[in-house]
Structure 1
Amino acid sequence: MSKDNQNGSFAEMMSGVKPLSQDKHHHPKAAPKRIQVEEKQQRQLADSYFSDEFQPAMPDSGPVRYLRQGEDPFELKKLRRGDYTPDLMLDLHGYRTQEARFELIALIEECKKHHVHCACIMHGIGSGVLKQQIPSWLAQHPQVIGYHQAPLEWGGNGALLVLVDVGSEDGGHRR
């Protein structure tokens, strides 16, 4: 720079300079998608309903079965005979324990949403982890009226038919 330019005004020195264009982009955080919100709610529900330590009193012999206290015992007989036809099927073959918990919550929520009273859960036999854990989890859920090992046409020893109380949120019995 020469001495002449040092004494000149700023405007004179900046003449001919091209201004920079704005190159900053502000990206607002995207709102969580509905599916992500529902998955988070299902995880929270699974954690609040299901305990791995809880073991309900189950019969030692015969097929796997459970009936909520105060329910008509004839409901179990109807499940055993196959009088109820499941409207929803959940196949848990190949699922990990944690994934199966989320899927169970999703199944029960779908049953309530679509007023489905009977669903079939196919857990398979395999190593027996899901076969042992799923009945325990179902017995803890307030919307489950009862379940029974499925008849052969719905999976037999590797499946359960589940009755869901779709009438109320608090587990009260209304069908």
Structure 2
Amino acid sequence: MLNNDELSLFQEAVKGAKKLKQDTVVMKKQPSQKAVEVREQKEKADTQFYFSDEYEPLLSEENDKVKYRREDVDPYLLKQLRRGDFSPELFLDLHGLTRKQAKMELASLILACEKEGVFCASIMTGYGTYALKTQIPRWLVQHPKILALHQAPREWGGDAAILILVEQLDGNVRR
């Protein structure tokens, strides 16, 4: 609280000042309905990579360990993946999903890996009825960004998971 001396000093200092009128209103611009629809369609299209159920790739299996390497990829990269030299940065758990949901999630994972610069990811299929466990590698080899895949080593899920290596936007292999 100001005493009388301070109040009179203040009034003397502001004598002749005009009161300001606030007449500026800043309104937040809401995105148009069309912009929202376009964004939603783009996001949906990004996760709509077509994985065929009829395609039967020639996958290598040793001791029930599924593995795949794109033709232009160094075989040593697959060996490193098998040994667990790469640590997955993203994990996708497909437990309880339908085939359609699993396809959408796989496409989303690959897109996320690309956008975030993630080279290695883990896909947990579980055991269950083996429906997804056997189908996931067949879908993955169809995607052009998948460099290699291998059954995960024990520390990353073992037989219930698959590790994938995703090609990055710059085309470089990262560790």
TM-score for both structures, normalised by structure 1: 0.74
1:115–1:57 distance in 2 versus 1, CA, 3 Å: same
Could you say which residue in structure 2 is the equivalent of 1:51? 52
Would the aligned equivalents of 1:42 and 1:102 in 2 still touch at CA under 8 Å?
A: no
Q: Quick check: 1:163 aligned with 2:165?
A: yes
Of 38, 41, 44, the residue aligned with 2:45 is 41
Could you say which residue in structure 1 is the equivalent of 2:172? 174
3-state secondary structure, aligned to 1:64: strand
Number of residue equivalences? 140
1:64-89 deviation digits (Å, cap 9, x = unpaired): 10000121111111111110000000
**Counterpart AA for 1:37:** Q
How far apart are residue 153 of structure 1 and its match? 1.0
Of 89, 95, 98, the residue aligned with 2:97 is 95
Of 71, 83, 93, the residue aligned with 1:69 is 71
| 1:73-152 map, 5 Å | 73-152=75-154
**Structure 1 vs Structure 2: percent identity of aligned residues?**
45
1:121–1:35 distance in 2 versus 1, CA, 3 Å: farther
RMSD in angstroms over aligned alpha carbons?
1.8
1:103–1:35 distance in 2 versus 1, CA, 3 Å: farther
**Counterpart AA for 1:30:** Q
Could you say which residue in structure 2 is the equivalent of 1:18? none
TM-score for both structures, normalised by structure 2: 0.74
1:95–1:34 distance in 2 versus 1, CA, 3 Å: farther
1:14-72 deviation digits (Å, cap 9, x = unpaired): xxxxxxxxxxxxxxx93345773245214532x2xx11000110124321100001211
Q: CA–CA distance in 1 between the matches of 2:42 and 2:95?
A: 23
1:101-120 deviation digits (Å, cap 9, x = unpaired): 00001000000001100000
Question: Highest CA radius of gyration, 1 or 2?
Answer: 1
3-state secondary structure, aligned to 1:113: helix
**Residue segments in structure 2 that go unaligned for 5+ positions in a row:** 1-31
**Residue segments in structure 1 that go unaligned for 5+ positions in a row:** 1-28
